[in-house]
């Protein structure tokens, strides 16, 4: 949808952003984040051509934006800035309707749209449309700023630290509302912030910028799990993943190649294998690698005839999880089964193929990482 190709901006020969290449998919909310002065606002303003780059290209839906009529381009891009940019001498209605009126849209349609926009941002149209910005709280002004950006129903919305001037409570509320709104309208949004909590809450993808260059651009979950370097790890906060445990999945914490045996292996061989491998249970799979049961050392040893295949004695009612289940799901599963029945949880695909094993000790190792200063979180 929006594609940056080798964008560079220099002031007096000094680059402030360099060789920026990335793409924002239609319907995604991408957050640009980085320290003050790293070039976030510059990148945003290049999209609506408030700033002319020194080199490189930007495409929207495959069209080079520098070939387009600038008015035409901006008509399809809503823009919300930190200080709201509301005109103080105009009422809320006039602020929202300014562009639609310039476009000479039909009066009744404009008025109807204003009511819908006010409802969209959670403000009563009857109460607020005729007020002036100074008669609104900071949070209400921000909401009007958002409503105005949506007034022409653009495909793209650019938001430059729109909530940074607000107190934490209004800020949180507006973040929630933006996330809800975005789930409904699915605009393509580029959102600038300093605040990692804000980014994690609202972003589909995060683009981390440092000194005018992209250091990492990825899904929120990926960035939290695999920061590319110490700058990113420090920037996101090393233990941040623990405030979003739903991002920690079975596939991240499982032992990937647990000790297994085939269903037709004699019990005696299973006992030998457990002894050599120093484990107290074996996962039993069929020829395809699908999990069919589990056998413990004590069960195997208590068997009088140790020449029979393990499939005759194994336990088959095994609780399992999928690779995508979260650590929260796994802890709940374990807690809902009285110890010691569930010492380990196999991880299997939807076709029952064995992927790994989560043991109580692997869980403990994962959980204790939040108290250790580790570079790699998982
Ligand atoms: N007109 C200008 N002339 C010279 N330098 C400029 C100009 N505009 C911006 N810069 C410089 O470009 C760099 C990037 O600025 P930009 O506004 O994009 O940063 P930012 O990441 O948005 O920062 P902040 O988080 O503080 O808003 C800064 O070092 C800034 O001083
Ligand atoms: Mg800025």
Q: Is 37 in the pocket of ligand 1 (CB under 6 A)?
A: yes
Q: Is residue 223 part of a domain?
A: yes
Q: Which sign, positive or negative, has the C-alpha torsion 173, 328, 33, 36?
A: positive
How far is residue 376's CA from residue 271's CA, in Å, rounded to a whole number? Answer: 37
Q: Mean pLDDT, the chain, as a whole number? A: 89
User: What CATH number does residue 292 fall under?
Assistant: 3.10.580.10
Torsion angle defined by CA atoms of residues 200, 201, 204 and 208, in that order, rounded to the nearest 10 degrees: -30
pLDDT digits (tens, 9 = 90+) for 22-45: 999 999 999 999 988 999 999 999
Q: Which of 39-53, 74-88, 253-267 has the lowest mean pLDDT?
A: 74-88
Distance set, CA 285 to CA 127, 264, 289, 294 (Å): 67, 9, 5, 9
The rounded Å distance from CA 160 to ligand 2 centre is 7
Same domain, 126 and 49: yes
CA–CA dist 148, 78 (Å, integer): 8
**Quick one: 242 and 259 in the same domain?**
no
Instruction: Check if 11 has its Cβ closer than 6 Å to any atom of ligand 1.
Output: yes
- Tens-digit pLDDT profile for residues 61-114: 999 999 999 988 998 999 988 776 889 999 999 999 988 888 888 999 999 999
Euclidean distance between CA atoms 76 and 192, whole angstroms: 19
Q: Which of 213, 247, 281 is the last residue of a domain?
A: 247
Q: In what order do the strands lie in the sheet with 156-160?
A: 77-80, 156-160, 188-193, 29-33, 205-210, 213-219
At residue 184 the predicted structure's pLDDT band, cuts being 50, 70 and 90, is confident
Regarding whether 264 and 135 lie in a shared domain, the answer is: no
151 lies in a domain? yes
Question: Does residue 378 belong to any structural domain of this protein?
Answer: no
Last residue in a domain, options 227, 247, 267? 247
Q: Is the CB of 212 under 6 A from ligand 1?
A: no
- Same domain? For 103 and 222 the reply is yes
Q: Given ligand 1 and candidates 38, 48, 52, 196, which is best to mutate, with the most ligand atoms within 8 Å of its CB?
A: 38
For 308, which DSSP code? S
pTM: 0.75
Q: Are 137 and 185 contained in the same domain?
A: yes
- Verify that 168 and 77 share a domain, yes or no: yes
Closest residue CA from atom 25 of ligand 1: 36
Q: In ligand 1, which atom is closest to the CA atom of 194? A: 25
Residue nearest to atom 17 of ligand 1 (CA): 41
pLDDT of 160 reads 93
Query: Distance from the CA of 11 to the center of ligand 1, in angstroms?
Result: 10
The residue whose C-alpha atom lies closest to atom 1 belonging to ligand 1 is 11
Structure-token pair, residue 234: 């420090």
Our answer on whether the CB atom of 45 is closer than 6 Å to any ligand 1 atom is: no
Domain span holding position 317: 252-367
Q: Are residues 291 and 336 in the same domain?
A: yes
In a domain, 373, yes or no: no
Q: Give the CA angle between residues 195, 217, 168 to the nearest 5°.
A: 15
Q: Does residue 376 form part of some domain?
A: no
Q: What is the pLDDT of residue 238?
A: 66
Give residues with Cβ within 8 angstroms of 257, minimum separation 6: 356
Distance 37 CA to ligand 1 centre (A): 5
Q: Which ligand is nearest to the CA of 39?
A: 1
Atom number in ligand 1 closest to CA 12: 4
Give the separation between CA 80 and CA 69, rounded to whole angstroms: 21
The 8-class DSSP code of residue 336 comes to: T
240 domain-assigned? yes
Q: 374 pLDDT exceeds 90?
A: no
- Check whether residue 358 and residue 234 sit in a common domain: no
Do 271 and 148 lie in a common domain? no
Q: What is the CATH number of the domain that holds 194?
A: 3.40.50.300
Q: How far is the CA of 25 from the centre of ligand 2 (A)?
A: 23
- Six-digit token string for 339: 């110890």
Structural domain contains residue 67:
yes
User: Which residue's CA is the nearest one to ligand 1's atom 18?
Assistant: 39
Residues 222 and 294 in one domain: no
- Looking at the 3D structure of the chain, how many domains does it have? 2
The phi and psi torsions of 345 (rounded to 5 degrees) equal -120, 115
Average pLDDT over residues 276-286: 91
- Counting from 1 in the atom list of ligand 1, the atom nearest the Cα of 34 is 21
pLDDT-derived band at 373 (thresholds 50, 70, 90) equals: low
Q: Judge if 63 and 50 occupy the same domain.
A: yes
Q: Closest ligand 1 atom to the C-alpha of 43?
A: 18
Average the pLDDT over 238-249 and give the result: 77
Range of weakest confidence among 11-20, 189-198, 335-344: 335-344
134 and 21 share one domain: yes
pLDDT at 358 over 80: yes
Answer whether residue 307 shows pLDDT above 70.
yes
* Domain end point (choices 229, 247, 265): 247
Q: Which atom of ligand 1 is nearest to the CA of 42?
A: 18
Residue 372 domain-assigned (yes or no)? no
Burial class (CB in 10 A: 0-12, 13-18, 19+), 168: exposed
């Amino acid at each position: 949808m929006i594609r940056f190709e080798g964008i560079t901006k220099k002031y007096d020969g000094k680059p402030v952003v360099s060789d920026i290449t990335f793409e924002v998919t239609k319907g995604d909310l991408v957050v640009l984040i980085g320290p003050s002065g790293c070039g976030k606002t510059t990148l945003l303003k290049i999209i609506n051509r408030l700033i002319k780059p020194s080199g490189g290209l930007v495409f929207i839906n495959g069209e080079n934006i520098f070939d387009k009529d600038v008015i035409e381009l901006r008509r399809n891009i809503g823009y919300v800035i930190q200080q709201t940019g509301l005109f103080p001498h105009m009422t809320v209605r006039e602020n929202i309707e300014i562009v639609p009126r310039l476009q000479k849209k039909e009066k009744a349609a404009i008025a109807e749209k204003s009511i819908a926009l006010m409802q969209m941002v959670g403000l009563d149209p009857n109460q607020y449309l005729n007020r002036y910005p100074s008669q609104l709280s900071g949070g209400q002004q921000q909401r009007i700023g958002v409503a105005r950006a949506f007034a022409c129903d653009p495909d793209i919305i650019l938001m430059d630290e729109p909530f940074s001037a607000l107190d934490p409570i209004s800020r949180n509320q507006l973040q929630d509302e933006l996330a809800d709104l975005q789930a409904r309208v699915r605009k393509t949004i580029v959102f600038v912030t300093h605040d990692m909590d804000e980014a994690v809450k609202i972003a589909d993808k995060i683009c981390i910028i440092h000194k005018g260059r992209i250091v990492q651009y990825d899904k929120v979950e990926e960035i939290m799990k695999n920061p590319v370097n110490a700058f990113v790890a420090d920037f996101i906060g090393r233990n941040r993943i623990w405030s979003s445990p739903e991002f920690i999945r079975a596939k991240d914490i499982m032992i990937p190649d647990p000790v297994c045996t085939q269903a037709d292996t004699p019990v005696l061989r299973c006992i030998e294998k457990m002894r050599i491998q120093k484990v107290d249970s074996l996962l039993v799979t069929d020829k395809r690698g699908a999990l069919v049961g589990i056998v413990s050392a004590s069960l195997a040893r208590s068997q009088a005839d140790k020449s029979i295949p393990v499939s005759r004695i194994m336990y088959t009612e095994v609780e399992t999880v999928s690779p995508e289940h979260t650590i929260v799901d796994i802890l709940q599963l374990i807690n809902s089964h009285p110890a010691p029945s569930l010492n380990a949880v196999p991880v299997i695909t939807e076709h029952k193929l064995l992927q790994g094993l989560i043991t109580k000790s692997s869980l403990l190792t994962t959980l204790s990482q939040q108290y250790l200063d580790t570079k790699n979180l998982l």
